[in-house]
Chains A and B, each alone.
Chain A
Amino acid sequence: MENAGGLLASYEYLDSTVDAIKGLKKAGFETVRAYTPYPEHHIEDALGYDQSPVRVWTLVGGLTGTATGFALTIWTSMDWPLVVGGKPMVSIPAYIIIAFELTILFGALATIIGLFVLSRLPSIKPTVVYDPEFSSGRYGVYVEGSHQRLEEARRIMNEQEPIELREGEADD
């Protein structure tokens, strides 16, 4: 379906925001986005979000780190075999420490990369579909659809008495 445009409504209260999102979801709108000044689980539930996949990135990154830690230490010891302090060539107990630290390092970096990919950051170029009030207390709901469908969306959003309702370009 070709998206013709979008509608952006700002609300003052959480329950009207949640009701608007539920109404839009029920009417079958695919692209519904919400803006909040802080994390709000009622809205995430209304949008039908499940566990965030960021944790999978952390796990995969961490396991990559473990493997890298052992691979690096073992390979470099074999690359130039040199006995130090009478320890075996492959000193696993000592290498566990390096592997452990790299697990955390890669896990942390993967978490950030995953988070940025999933939340489409950074995106510095200004977008029309935003209101500076969203960062200081208002809630926003954005919906995309064709012209006829947007009329229906407008009706649903108006039912909850938004502070402001305006048309915006579909972005992304």
Chain B
Amino acid sequence: MTGDRSREEPLFRPLTAWRPKLILGSLFTGAVAALLFYSWGYQIRNDIGVAGINRPVFWGFYITNFVFWIGISHAGTLISAILRVTSAEWRRPVTRCAEAITVFALLIGGLFPLIHLGRPWLFWFMIPLPNHRGLWPNFRSPLVWDITAIGTYLIGSILYLLLPLLPDLAILRDRHTADNPDSARARIYRFIALGWRGTAQQWHSLESGIRALAVIIIPVAVSVHTIVSWDFSMTLQPMWHSTIFGPYFVVGAIYSGIAVLMVTMYLLRRGMGLESYLNDKVFNNLGLLFLAFTLIWGYFTFAEHLTVWYGNEPSEMAVFTERISGKYARIFWAMVLLNVAVPVLVLSFPRGRKPWLTAIVGVGVLIGMWIERFIIVVGTLSLPRLDFTVGSYQPTWVELGILVGSFGCFALLYLVFVQIAPIVSIWEVREGDHHLNQVHSATEHPVLETT
């Protein structure tokens, strides 16, 4: 038998009855999310000219947000898959909330190319269908790679989120059916649990399936942000055309992903009373991973800038100088402060890896990573090789509204998810407790602190 069940109560609380706090939260984030759709609707009605993008800066906030949100999606699936493949025991309470981040961040990130299109109904030009003259999409284009990679990652991540969820839905089905077999919740969970019975045969297949998915999702996650970086580096633009961009973007993506994971976990822990699951040990371990990625990202950023400086190519140096000491210097150094100096100073010490501190560092890193993408996108485009089109970029309220609204969308999706599915994988935690009990009964040691 599994151990103490009272520990699970905070997980079931939002799933058994409506909670006023969650409803209010959903309404508030829903209102923020509506800002995105209002601004987007305004842009569709009045055309793309209402956005600030213009010659030569054709990529502005939208592409920055696209890279940012797709980057965040690397939190979940990648981190959870790596922890699963290496069977890290402390992963058990973390995987589900990380995988949910992936799915929702991808849904929002995938929206931005559509917003950027201006005429979103022409989206189907990208999918492999011939147009009315029988012409197919150009598969040599990084944009077509993008949609293939992101589509694959989205489908893979949804499956990877839902598969380990199935037994938990069965737990909820049985619980609601025991309470009142005719209630709406009982009916819904009976349907979405798909008739999971927990036979040894089913577990056997499920475990094998989860492992297979975890293994194949790691390369696809790496490929997604590599391909996003190729949107840039396949061009000849100064400071984009760089072979380092693939790994540089992937590292940045995982880095911002961990930052979001830290913030989300802290909010879940505080808001839902999950201290016994998302405990200090989890934050300490993820804080160490966070620190490692701070250093790797710092190294990549340094290497990227060092080679440009050493190469001393005029058009590249123009962009470089603008970053280090020109128009973008202020936000560039803010980025260095938020993404390298602060995390290293705080996370290097065990006392700095406390939950609230890692969450604050996480917010800083998110701002820093957004700045990084903005500098890459706008910094280069405003200084093209042919200097008769030098220009600048000023976002309009439409772009700001869409940016703010995207955070509302993410929070709303997350809050709704929390009310549908347990945010900590119940069966995986029970399995972990069970293994621990077996070890203790076998060695007859006193029960250690369960993690």
Q: Which residues of A contact B (CB under 8 A)?
A: 12-13, 33-40, 43-44, 47, 49, 51-52, 54-55, 58, 62, 72-73, 76-77, 79-80, 82, 84-85, 87, 91, 94-95, 97-98, 100-102, 104-105, 107-109, 111-112, 114-115, 118-127, 130, 132-137
Across the interface, which residues of A come within 8 angstroms of B148, CB to CB?
97-98, 101-102
Question: Do B205 and A52 touch (CB < 8 A)?
Answer: yes
Given contacts A79-B136, A102-B148, A115-B205, contact A38 B430 (CB under 8 A): yes
Residues from 147 to 194 in B contacting A, C-beta threshold 8 Å: 148-149, 151-152, 155-156, 159-160, 163, 166-167, 170-171, 173-175, 177-178, 190-191, 194
Across the interface, which residues of A come within 8 angstroms of B178, CB to CB?
132
Across the interface, which residues of A come within 8 angstroms of B173, CB to CB?
135
Looking at the assembled complex, report how far the CB atom of A149 sits from the nearest CB atom of chain B, in whole angstroms. Answer: 21
Across the interface, which residues of B come within 8 angstroms of A38, CB to CB?
167, 203, 427-428, 430-431, 434
Across the interface, which residues of B come within 8 angstroms of A107, CB to CB?
212, 216
Q: Which of B130, B136, B140, B213 contacts A111 (CB 8 A)?
A: B213
Question: Do A35 and B199 touch (CB < 8 A)?
Answer: yes
Question: Do A76 and B205 touch (CB < 8 A)?
Answer: no
Interface string of B198-216 (1 = CB under 8 A from A): 1111111111110011001
Across the interface, which residues of A come within 8 angstroms of B149, CB to CB?
97, 101
B195 sits at the interface (CB 8 A): yes
Across the interface, which residues of B come within 8 angstroms of A101, CB to CB?
145, 148-149, 151-152, 220, 223
Question: Do B200 and A47 touch (CB < 8 A)?
Answer: yes
Residues from 13 to 67 in B contacting A, C-beta threshold 8 Å: none
CA distance A121 to B152 in the complex (A): 23
For the A-B complex with A33-B200, A98-B148 known, give 5 more contacts whose Cβ atoms are closer than 8 Å.
Answer: A38-B434, A82-B135, A101-B152, A108-B152, A112-B163
Across the interface, which residues of A come within 8 angstroms of B170, CB to CB?
135
Across the interface, which residues of A come within 8 angstroms of B200, CB to CB?
33-36, 40, 43-44, 47, 49
Looking at the assembled complex, report how far the CB atom of B216 sits from the nearest CB atom of chain A, in whole angstroms. Answer: 5
CA distance A78 to B204 in the complex (A): 45
CA distance A77 to B144 in the complex (A): 14
Across the interface, which residues of A come within 8 angstroms of B213, CB to CB?
108, 111
Q: How many residues of B contact A (CB 8 A)?
A: 63
Across the interface, which residues of A come within 8 angstroms of B139, CB to CB?
72-73, 76-77, 91, 94-95, 98
Across the interface, which residues of A come within 8 angstroms of B177, CB to CB?
132
Across the interface, which residues of B come within 8 angstroms of A55, CB to CB?
208, 212
Chain A residue nearest to B211 in the complex (CB) = A55
Looking at the assembled complex, report how far the CB atom of A58 sits from the nearest CB atom of chain B, in whole angstroms. Answer: 4
Question: Do A104 and B152 touch (CB < 8 A)?
Answer: yes
Q: Which of A13, A80, A91, A119 contacts B199 (CB 8 A)?
A: A119
Question: Do A137 and B1 touch (CB < 8 A)?
Answer: yes
Question: Do B195 and A76 touch (CB < 8 A)?
Answer: no
Looking at the assembled complex, report how far the CB atom of B200 sits from the nearest CB atom of chain A, in whole angstroms. Answer: 4
Question: Do B138 and A84 touch (CB < 8 A)?
Answer: yes
Looking at the assembled complex, report how far the CB atom of B439 sits from the nearest CB atom of chain A, in whole angstroms. Answer: 14
B2 sits at the interface (CB 8 A): yes
Looking at the assembled complex, report how far the CB atom of A74 sits from the nearest CB atom of chain B, in whole angstroms. Answer: 9
Question: Do B205 and A118 touch (CB < 8 A)?
Answer: yes
Across the interface, which residues of B come within 8 angstroms of A49, CB to CB?
200-201, 204
Question: Do B140 and A91 touch (CB < 8 A)?
Answer: yes
B407 sits at the interface (CB 8 A): no
Across the interface, which residues of A come within 8 angstroms of B207, CB to CB?
39, 52
Chain A residue nearest to B157 in the complex (CB) = A108
Across the interface, which residues of A come within 8 angstroms of B311, CB to CB?
none
Question: Do A44 and B209 touch (CB < 8 A)?
Answer: no
CA distance A49 to B202 in the complex (A): 12
Across the interface, which residues of B come within 8 angstroms of A91, CB to CB?
139-140
CA distance A52 to B171 in the complex (A): 24
Question: Taking each of A115, A118, A137, which has the highest tally of chain B beta carbons within 10 Å of its own beta carbon?
Answer: A115
Question: Do B431 and A39 touch (CB < 8 A)?
Answer: yes
Question: Do A33 and B2 touch (CB < 8 A)?
Answer: no
Across the interface, which residues of B come within 8 angstroms of A122, CB to CB?
194-195
Given contacts A33-B200, A84-B138, A135-B170, contact A98 B145 (CB under 8 A): yes
Q: Which of A54, A97, A109, A123 contacts B205 (CB 8 A)?
A: A54
B391 sits at the interface (CB 8 A): no
B446 sits at the interface (CB 8 A): no
B128 sits at the interface (CB 8 A): yes
Question: Do A105 and B199 touch (CB < 8 A)?
Answer: no
Q: 21 A-B residue contacts at CB 8 Å?
A: A34-B199, A35-B198, A38-B167, A39-B206, A40-B203, A47-B200, A54-B205, A54-B212, A79-B130, A80-B130, A80-B136, A84-B140, A87-B140, A97-B149, A98-B148, A104-B217, A108-B156, A108-B160, A120-B202, A121-B195, A134-B174
